Structure 1
Amino acid sequence: MRVGVCGAGGRMGATVCGAVCADPELELVAAVDPAATGQAVAGADIEMAPTLDAFGEARAEVVVDFTVVDAARENLAFYADHGMHAVVGTTGFSDADLASFADAFAQSNCVIAPNFAISAVLMMRFAELAAPFFDSAEVIELHHENKIDAPSGTAMRTVERMAAASSTWTPDPTERLVLDGARGATGPGGIHVHSVRLKGLVAHQEVILGAEGQSLVIRQDSYDRSSFMPGVVLAVKRIAEHPGLTIGLEPFLGL
């Protein structure tokens, strides 16, 4: 399968390039990153190109996109217009964006996942299953210092699924804030979300659920970007089997 990578000069993009090159069923045919134009791609006999046209010239069947949301909006329109499948790890899209992508991908397919770590996908599923059995919950997501959006897409997806699974969350009892923002942000269902940004972290999340006399903590840790690669490679290989727009890796795992 002929694969392109957009955002190939970034840390995630470079890791994706390595994973594609290491898989005998995949061929890295193009890598795009305007900020790294002309740089060699480790493990492949190609250089980074400045524009998306490189994917068409290389006849890429699937493009993996780890960029930023403003660029990704235009990128996805290009992939759809050129009949390329898209595997997208960029987060921060609006509901209007997703509706637009659903309309655009009529001749090819697209998966947008907030997290490609299989452990993170399972964490979200476990939190969803646990939600109806608890009265209150909070989510703490922790990421590296260069992540520009907060809360993370994973945290938002987790809270949305928990709120859909249960509508009986106990209201926040806080009456006085000594420090503004001390209770974090309020997400769907009134579930509070807290974002941490620190050097030394990659991607981590903790879901804390409470009921009378008991609590449950569900935690997922990605210590290295390699943790995302099995999910990315799985999505690349199976994207042709999932028509149109898919949100999340769950359908690829049978969840």
Structure 2
Amino acid sequence: MPFSVGACHRMKPIHIVVAGATGRMGQETIKMIHQEEHLKLTGAVARSHKGEDVGLAIGLNEIGVPLTNSLEEALDLGQPDVMIDLTTPEAVKKHMELAIQSGVRPVVGTSGLSEESIQELDHQCQERELGGIIAPNFAIGAVLMMVFASKAAQYLPDVEIIEMHHDQKLDAPSGTAMKTAELISQKRDERKQGHIDEKEVLEGARGGYRDGFRIHSVRLPGLVAHQEVLFGGAGQLLTLRHDSMNRQSFMPGVKLAVEKVMELKRLVYGLENVMDL
């Protein structure tokens, strides 16, 4: 059954290259593209399985797209409209620059880019009038959680974030937690929380510090992607929580980003910027 977030208003096929095609997110993305009539996979990049059909490499039938370990090659041969990057923080900036230089719109689910790098990449997109989307989280529910958190922070400014991910995640805090913190900080003045004489007996026990509040990262096998935003007030506690139980939960957001990036002429950070919220 095809993934869907509203009706698709673009009937012309969108040609896509996926970087990180054999990773867990990459595999789900390939499957989603394969199911959508208006999306067409033209290239797949991975560190291994070079030359093997990507469909066979991830357990599907043959789909006629061989894997390559060179993004440049995939961009040249496939002539895509969009590059979806699901690789590593070390590779993502170079991949985005290669895509933009080739006139290809980047849709990025890899976290770890600095604010300075995002600004540089936005400048490159605007110079070429190309759309781009960086999504700290593709799950629609997680995006709603972030937006609701920013609204709650206006009225309950005492807040802490707890994000929980699988133990193979490379960055901490997660991109979702950092984006949530950014949205919260826009709605409240910086204020140091906790007792004025608070002391950490064990270094790091209170988590990472951001504009007066704390972010805590948990890494355990069995988790996928989970986050709680806790707001405390006199005699009350508001908890916003989102859980992704599998990576299929991200696919409606990936599809939405691919469709919306075709309408943009600059880089945007956060899926909420292309949703009607």
Does residue 183 (structure 1) correspond to residue 203 (structure 2)? The answer is: no
User: What's the secondary structure of 1:215's corresponding residue?
Assistant: strand
* Counterparts in 2 of 1:49 and 1:184: CA distance versus 1, 3 Å: same
Partner of 2:7: none
Of 7, 20, 31, which residue of structure 2 is paired with 1:7?
Answer: 20
Q: CA deviation at 1:229?
A: 0.4
1:237 alignment counterpart: 259
| Selected match of 2:66 from 27, 33, 47 | 47
Contact 2:192 2:213 in 1 (8 A): no
Aligned residues: 254
Q: Are the equivalent residues in 2 in contact too, given 1:114–1:153 (CA < 8 A)?
A: yes
Amino acid at match of 2:208: A
1:172 is paired with a residue of what secondary structure?
coil
Aligned ranges 1:57-76 → 2 under 5 Å: 57-76=77-96
Which residue in 2 is equivalent to 1:22? 35
Secondary structure, in 3 states, of the residue corresponding to 2:226? strand
Paired with 1:214 and 1:114, the residues of 2 have a C-alpha distance of: 29
Match of 2:156 among 114, 130, 134: 134
Runs (4+) of structure 1 exceeding 3 A deviation are: none
Q: Counterpart amino acid of 1:181? A: G
- TM-score (normalizing by structure 1): 0.96
| CA separation of 1:109 and 1:135: change in aligned 2, threshold 3 A | closer
Structure 1 equivalent of residue 220 of structure 2: 198
Give the TM-score normalised by structure 2.
0.88
Check conservation: 2:157, 2:188, Cα contact below 8 A.
Answer: no
Q: What's the offset of the Cα at 1:224?
A: 0.4
**Secondary structure of the equivalent of 2:84?**
strand
CA RMSD of aligned residues (A): 1.3
Question: Percent identity, aligned pairs only?
Answer: 40
Structure 2, gaps ≥5 residues long: 1-13
Structure 1 unmatched runs, 5+: none
Given that 1:135 and 1:168 are in contact with CA atoms closer than 8 Å, whether structure 2 keeps it comes out as no
The aligned amino acid for 2:67 is M
Looking at structure 1, the residues matched to 272 and 49 of structure 2 have their Cα atoms a distance apart, in angstroms, of 33
Three-state SS of the structure 2 residue aligned to 1:167 is: coil
- The answer on whether the counterparts of 1:69 and 1:90 sit within 8 Å (CA) in structure 2 is yes
Q: Show the counterpart of 2:116.
A: 96
Instruction: Give the match for residue 180 of structure 2.
Output: 158
CA distance in 1, matches of 2:137, 2:194: 28
What is the CA-CA distance between 1:34 and the residue it aligns to?
2.3
The answer on whether the counterparts of 1:127 and 1:162 sit within 8 Å (CA) in structure 2 is: yes
2:145 is aligned, of 97, 101, 123, to: 123
**1:232, distance to aligned residue in structure 2 (A):** 0.4
1:100 and 1:163 mapped to 2: Cα distance?
Answer: 23
- 2: CA distance between counterparts of 1:207 and 1:10? 29
Residue 38 of structure 1 aligns with which residue?
51
CA offsets, 1:91-144, max 9 Å, x none? 111122112101211322210010010000000001000001114110000001
User: Any idea what the Cα deviations from partners look like across 1:150-205, whole Å, max 9, x if unmatched?
Assistant: 00010011011111101164522162222221111111x21100000000110000
Aligned partners of 2:119, 2:199: CA distance in 1, in Å? 40
Q: The residue matched to 2:204 in structure 1 has which SS? A: coil
